[in-house]
Amino acid sequence: MKSCQTIAKRSAAGGVVVWLITLLLTTSNSEQAELVHKVVFWAVLVVVPLGLSVVADESALYKLVVFAQPVAALLTVSSFFVEKGVLSAVLASAWLILNILVALLGLMRLTSQGFQRIEEFSIDVGLLYLPVAGAWLVIYRLGVQPFNYGEMIILLTAVHFHFAGFATPIIAGMCGRVLAHRNYPRRGFGLSVFALVAAMPLVAAGITFSPWIGLVGALLLTAGLLMLAVLTIGWIRPLITSRASRALLLIGAISSCAAMVLACLYAYSLATQTLIITIPGMAMTHGLLNAFGFVTCSLLVWSQRVVDFRR
């Protein structure tokens, strides 16, 4: 039987094919919503299985998650071709159920390993954050707007927790696995992981309570990603022999920094009520840089195991 990691990578490859087909189809009358829908499809079809492939757990729960992921992803994508309501939310609930299983996997790993290895803790946190994305996705497909959030805010929150909540801590953890037995600024990596993990609830609280809290969260996330980019370029890239992989890591590091500059500008504009960059502008710039430039390029490298390291 093929390893679960291989199956997860093949699921991601198949997800690319399905995603390309969805580009020919329409799911919304709004061009802005249509763009974000396609980013959601990329997350569920490609990013999540790639992220799962690098976790490389050996438990029965991990195997269940890997085998169930493509089914849940297809059901979720199909929900966007059904009018918002109960049926659409039920289809999208398959993704939430899968996300809960992923979080249980993260909890199992965390309870068995504890907090001693910060790189593994970072990966576990990424797994634990994923149900937040699934929950907001179900809410979006149900067509309700809790806390008077607009539909676009709800949708973008789901996107945010797929990429920043799930994928980013996993990418940081993979960097930590490589650095674990090498000379590098350990305190810098620890601060990076702390910033990435702590920023998520602050960004969420900023949406609910105060945009100033959101600005603090954005600045903290930016600091964490900036430190991770420095470690990636200065300490990790030299260990990799593949030119293509080195190029992808460089693209990912630069994209993450550029995306977070835009995120800080947007958070500042909300806090000061000054129009600097609009939501459509954020989707076209920050969203695409983060989704395709940083997350996808980085996960592609780590899914290939381009360096020899031990967990």
Closest CA to 298 of 241, 217, 236, 239: 236
d(C-alpha 90, C-alpha 92), whole Å: 5
Q: What tokens does 153 get? A: 């805010």
Q: Is residue 311 part of a domain?
A: no
Domain containing residue 110: CATH number: 1.20.210.10
Number of domains in the chain: 1
Backbone angles phi, psi at 209, to 5 degrees: -110, -60
Name residues whose C-beta falls within 8 Å of residue 258's C-beta, 6 or more positions apart in sequence: 289, 293
Is residue 62 within 8 A of residue 3, CB to CB? The reply is no
Range of the domain at 96: 4-303
Between helix 186-208 and helix 168-179 the angle, nearest 10°, is 170
The DSSP line for 40-77 is HHHIIIIIHHHHHHHH---SHHHHHHHHHHHHHHHHHH
Q: Is residue 141 part of a domain?
A: yes
pLDDT computed for residue 246 by the predictor: 93
pLDDT computed for residue 158 by the predictor: 94
Count the helices and strands in the chain (H runs, E runs).
Answer: 14, 0
Q: Is residue 217 part of a domain?
A: yes
d(C-alpha 58, C-alpha 144), whole Å: 39
Q: Is residue 309 part of a domain?
A: no
Q: Is residue 310 part of a domain?
A: no
Q: Is residue 117 part of a domain?
A: yes
Q: Is residue 52 part of a domain?
A: yes
Closest CA to 9 of 46, 58, 62: 46
End-to-end CA distance of the chain: 23
Q: Is residue 59 part of a domain?
A: yes
Name residues whose C-beta falls within 8 Å of residue 227's C-beta, 6 or more positions apart in sequence: 188, 189, 191, 192, 195
pLDDT computed for residue 305 by the predictor: 65
Is residue 296 within 8 A of residue 243, CB to CB? The reply is no
pLDDT computed for residue 2 by the predictor: 58
Give 10-residue mean pLDDT values along the chain (311 residues). 83 98 94 94 98 90 96 98 97 98 96 86 96 97 90 92 96 91 78 93 82 92 94 89 93 96 91 86 90 96 66 39
pLDDT computed for residue 311 by the predictor: 39
